[in-house]
Amino acid sequence: NEALVMLSEGANIEDIDNAMRDYGFPVGPIKLMDEVGIDVGAHVTEVMSPLFAKRGIELVAKGKEVIDAGLKGRKSGKGFYLYGKEKGKKVNTAVYRFFGGSERKTFAKSEIKERLSMAMINEAIYALQEGIIQSAQDGDVGAVFGIGFPPFLGGPFFYMDEQGSANILERLIKLEEKHGSRFKPADLLREKVEKAERFYI
């Protein structure tokens, strides 16, 4: 969702994808949407929206508009990228009209990495807090093998233990102050900081 938020704020598709590949993901989040299918992503957004709304988070729900324009991703030959001879290397600039218009601006690679990675890390904590996953290890294995979280970082929970929960909390608080409630730190993270506990015992 944060990738689409930044896209709506004027970020370039290739800047978002390049930043997250540089972070260590095998494929950028926008390209991944094309590979999975924008229609599939739109369905996931529809299902998840009420759950995020309980936390005061509004998901970017542009999927239907994009699909109605015939853009479903790789399987339809075009989505956020154009497919064919270019093999998905050329950005489909026509899609920008659904995300604030053709005028784009440059975001620092460091900001893209921070916002997208911290959004994922915070959601991982919420998943553990709400019992969606049973352990930090489950979350790390799922993140690395499921969404391509950089394996050299060990997964979101291992990364938090390495960085220190207090460091992660401070970064999320700064992001919440600047960008709103979607970065509100999970209570479990605050608890870990207060008790000086790690996710891995």
Interval 61-74: pLDDT, tens? 567 778 888 888 88
Q: Is the pLDDT of residue 52 over 80?
A: no
Q: Is the pLDDT of residue 124 over 80?
A: yes
pLDDT at 176: 96
Round the average pLDDT of the chain to a whole number and report it: 90
pLDDT at 160: 98
How far apart, in whole angstroms, are the C-alpha atoms of residue 199 and residue 136?
6
How far apart, in whole angstroms, are the C-alpha atoms of residue 18 and residue 109?
8
pLDDT at 27: 94
Q: Is the pLDDT of residue 152 over 70?
A: yes
How far apart, in whole angstroms, are the C-alpha atoms of residue 114 and residue 172?
10
Q: Is 176 exposed, middle or buried (0-12, 13-18, 19+ CB in 10 A)?
A: middle
**What contacts 184, CB < 8 A, 6 or more positions away?**
55, 56, 122, 172, 176
How far apart, in whole angstroms, are the C-alpha atoms of residue 75 and residue 115?
29
- Percentage above 70 pLDDT, the chain: 91
Distances (CA, A) of 73 to 12, 52, 91: 17, 25, 11
Q: Between 39 and 13, name the one with better pLDDT.
A: 13
Q: Which two tokens stand for residue 77?
A: 């030959």
Helix (H, G, I), strand (E, B) or coil at 10: coil
The reported pTM is 0.89
Which CATH fold would you assign to the domain 109-195? N-(1-d-carboxylethyl)-l-norvaline Dehydrogenase; domain 2 (1.10.1040)
Rounded to the nearest angstrom, the gap between the alpha carbon of residue 24 and the centroid of all alpha carbons in its chain is 14
Each residue's pLDDT tens digit, 78-116: 889 999 875 657 999 999 998 888 899 999 999 999 999
Tell me which architecture the domain covering 2-98 has in CATH.
Answer: Orthogonal Bundle (1.10)
pLDDT at 41: 80
CATH 1.10.1040.50 maps onto the chain at 2-98, 109-195
AA identity, residue 152: F
Helix (H, G, I), strand (E, B) or coil at 82: strand
- The band of 45, judged by pLDDT with boundaries at 50, 70 and 90, is confident
Closest CA to 2 of 111, 106, 90: 111
Q: Which residues of 62-78 are buried (b: 16+ CB within 10 A; e: fewer)?
A: bbeebbeeebbbbeeeb
Q: Between 141 and 48, name the one with better pLDDT.
A: 141
pLDDT at 60: 63
Q: Is 106 exposed, middle or buried (0-12, 13-18, 19+ CB in 10 A)?
A: exposed
**What contacts 51, CB < 8 A, 6 or more positions away?**
none
